[in-house]
Amino acid sequence: MVSNASKPRIGITTYLEPTTWGIWQREAAILPRVYLDAVAAAGGTPILLPPVGTDVTVLDILDGLVVSGGCDVDPAAYGEDAHPETVDTRPGRDEHERVLIQGALERDLPLLAVCRGLQMLNVTLGGTLHQHLPDVITNDHRGGPGVFATTEIKVEPDSLAGRILGERATGSCYHHQALDVVAPGLKVTARSGDGTIEAAEVEGKDFALGVQWHPEETPEDLRLFTALIRSTQ
């Protein structure tokens, strides 16, 4: 962890996508601005981490890490064949985030993992995923193409998430995968009403928390980002 008088430097994972801006159509490292705004509003300086040239020592100049949401995790990462609904995977991104997650945990660097980030946290530690939630529950955790749904979350009070959010929370969600077999050392600390795992924490770490919803989509409620920033100080 960096020790200085500047704002905490928070790395955020990004992803490579075909992108258009102006007259240009090229592959670029991208990230929704809401992540940047959430980190900045909570008092941090956002630092983008593209999945190219990954070097775990970048963590040594950071005060915290956010693993962002995005596409499906490649099921080969947890030893399964792909479900027909598992599409658009990015194995290179998976490996990039696996290296950073492992490095953050080894350094006890404050870590907030969002949606896919929680899934990657679980897979990195040896867990598996439900590849398509509609196969196992009736609720839809997506509001439609490009539309977030709302989920009500019950949080364990004796947990990091509980100390930050209280016993209940409401989140914006957009996912069709979720944790199945929970990895050793990862403790489930929140669920939605249909039983979907909504938060999990790495045991023995001061701040290593993953949430299945998207807290960056609720700018009026920055408690998770504020808690991440405070944990660096």
Instruction: Tell me the C-alpha distance between 203 and 38, whole Å.
Output: 26
Largest CA distance in the chain: 53
Instruction: Tell me the C-alpha distance between 228 and 214, whole Å.
Output: 15
Active site residues: 115, 214, 216
